[in-house]
Chain A
Amino acid sequence: MMVLIILVGIFQSWNIALSIFNMCLISAVMTMGANIQWGYAGLINFGIMGYTALGGLAAVLISVDPVQEAWRAGGFDILMCLWLIIVMILVIRFILKNFAKSKLRNYGIASIIIAGIILIRVTAEPGIEAIESVNPAKTGFLGGFGLPIIFSWIVGAFFAGGLAFIVGKVALGLRADYLAIATLLISEIVIAIIKHEDWLTRGVKNVIGLKRPAPYEVDLQTTDWFINLVEKFNSGKLALISNLADRQAALNQLVIEGSSVFVKLCYSGLFLVIVIILLIITQKALYSPWGRMMRAIRDNEEAANAMGKNVVKQHLLIFILGSAIVGIAGAMLVTQDGLFTPGSYRPMRYTFLIWVMVIVGGSGNNFGAILGGFAVWFLWIEAAPIALFLINLFTAGMSDTNALKVHLIESVPYFRYLMMGLGLLLIMRYRPKGILPEKIEIK
């Protein structure tokens, strides 16, 4: 896999190779999260998109500077709302605890929820309007805490884990295919909220220019040590150019290229650290008594239950853990891109593609998950060039104006879906355990 990426570096450019590599690392983290749920415990989670988006939201809320004006305009109303929500939850909990199960209780809770929602809307509306009207072209939202964006990786994990707790409480009792549909739909709800609650996330207006953990290209290009470094690396090439002005121009060009490669390398380093840490932890967990218990639960729930293992609790735990890892990946993704675009979270890209990675790589095997993340993402990106090459090969006999050829070349981007689908179908058919199957067999 590394060889392929290096080949891209040589033939296309190092910039592309590194961005593919970074996305591969992020995909690997997501796949590890899904793999924990599916491979260890056999839980289907089609809501990966929602957790990714929550991780991204965490990145925004942590790193953006607070918008003081917006806080003054509507902060009080929003805080009141939060307070109301907490009161509502406490009241419902109190009722659930102290009253016997009855129709009256159900109606009571329903009416509390409805009254609560109306009350919250009435309180929040002026606040939200005020916040959204504060400089709407640039801010129009509350902003975040202004902390370094790296923190958001942890916070993203907590956000995603929190959502997973709620979803797990609600949906984990369902049968496998119901669970798949329920998680998919809940994640759609989460995306809808992130997209349309402008006061919190700016919605489809996107948040751009997030802080970075790595230096900026523009700064690098004027830093002495970096220019010297580039000069040193390319001294051989530069020495060939005799004209001093030409050499300076060439050096500038190299510095510009080098700076973006350097920034991407910084990200790669950071992501690599995360992937390695997660890999160590998940490997340890897989071979620990806890991992054995999870596999026992996966393979025979009743037996595990009879042995005194709390299946419901363990399912919830692993659902939260896996989702939290996906949350980290979501925060990493936004960190790398430097922007948060709620509109881009689509089930195709963030749920089903990740599942292809899990299945192709090998469920239950962490190395398989990483390999799946790398291989599938690589194919996803390089599918278009490959398809273009194949089309040109097969239609070589036709003239360039042939309608079929033109149409095929126009639709090159969609061949990636074809490749993913065929890949998935072939793997499911001939190697149902994935490229790297689970090592431990329980006999």
Chain B
Amino acid sequence: MDFLNAIILLLNYIFVPALTYGSQLALGAIFVTLIYGILRFANFATGDMMSFGTMVAILFTWYFQSIGVSLGILPTALLAIPFAILFMIIYMLFIDKFVFKYYRTNKSPPVQLAMVSIGVMFVTQAVVRIIIGPADQRFFDGQKFIIKAGEFKEMTGLNEGLAIKSTQVITILVTIILVSVLFWFLNKTKTGKSMKAYSDNEDLALLSGIDPKRIVMITWIIAGILATIGGVLYGLDKSFKPFTYFNNMLPIFAAAIVGGIGNPFGAFLGGYVIAFSEIFLTYAYKKFFMYILPDSMEPETLVQLLSTDYKFAVSFSILVIVLLYRPSGIFKGKVL
């Protein structure tokens, strides 16, 4: 019984949150890695592009709520996502046409493109803050919990409750569907394969008749889908605040690099590596040990490896270690 309690405790406080957070990071990391693999620059505007997509989704959610459309127990935001994606893609293609294209055709070094993306970051941040303001926005509606802690306790008769929020389930499900469709697209379709070829060797790809304009456009479209969905899922689960989204850029970068930048599957797993290690290392295991150890050996301290203040620092340290020993990432930067 105690053992079961301990397991439920870990599930509730570590596994489920980490899986959710990891999925959100993974979507962002695939976004970063795609841009890096095909357009060949580190996109510092990642977090802000996600916040732009989320902002549009929130505006649509409000609109739907005002005209009384809802999805019942599901959050209305899910209905708003397709519209938000549309706006996001238009915004990204617009930026690409007026900003990035010039440097791409001039074959500027990646560093210059990264600098330009900082300019885009400033502008996007300004646009988001001017339109929706810097404050916290909660746009979640519908049923909050799938299993409540209390109900779970009654059902199973255990001491520990397991609470599963509907946003967590939605996040994980949507991620699984989206990522499998994406990998199917990249590995099985002709367009996906030509993207791979383009990322492997640009000149050879051009020789074999791949149209770079089309590749770039499709990349931005996929990026737009990933950024919007990733952003909305994060916003649904926690809340939307432009500054947090900007900060999320850092663990997302960490995830992409840990997984081997340019490698979407690596980025996907990298997201979970970062999320799990953040939560594993900063969780206080006192209660866990209280369950599995006999009373006499009960720990006095919190048995916490690092205080939660260092949550971000954990992922960055992992990144630094990976960069030191395996600069191409855990899954070896097999490009795309």
Contacts and interface: CB of A to CB of B under 8 A. Distances in A.
A355 B125 CA distance: 17
Given A176-B110, A411-B129, A352 B122 contact: yes
How would you classify the secondary structure of chain A's contact residues: helix, strand, loop or mixed? helix
A62 interface: no
Contact of B134 (A177, A355, A414, A418): A414
Contacts of A429: 99, 102
A417 B126 contact: yes
B146 interface: no
B313 A193 contact: yes
A428 B111 CA distance: 12
Contact of B42 (A171, A180, A352): A180
Contact of A411 (B133, B257, B307): B133
A184 B250 contact: yes
A269 to B, nearest CB: 33
B188 to A, nearest CB: 30
A185 B130 contact: no
A177 B316 contact: no
Given A192-B312, A417-B126, A170 B118 contact: no
Interface in A403-443: 408, 410-411, 414-418, 420-422, 424-425, 428-429, 432
A186 interface: yes
Q: Report the contact-size class of chain A (Cβ under 8 Å from the partner).
A: 35 or more
Interface stretch (B72-80, B203-211, B319-327): B319-327
A359 B112 CA distance: 10
Interface residues of B, number: 42
A425 B126 contact: no
B133 A424 contact: no
A280 interface: no
| A177, A184, A432, most chain B CB atoms within 10 A | A177
A348 interface: yes
B122 A185 contact: no
A171 B319 CA distance: 11
Contacts of B310: 192, 196
A184 B133 CA distance: 26
Instruction: List the 4 closest A-B pairs by CB distance, nearest first.
Output: A421-B122, A421-B123, A418-B126, A417-B126
Given A414-B126, A424-B119, A432-B112, 5 more contacts: A178-B257, A185-B319, A188-B312, A192-B310, A196-B310
Interface of A: 44, 170-171, 174-178, 180-182, 184-186, 188-189, 192-193, 195-196, 348, 352, 355-356, 359, 408, 410-411, 414-418, 420-422, 424-425, 428-429, 432
Interface of B: 41-42, 99, 102, 109-112, 114-116, 118-127, 129-130, 133-134, 246, 250, 253-254, 257, 307, 309-310, 312-313, 316-317, 319-320, 323-324, 327
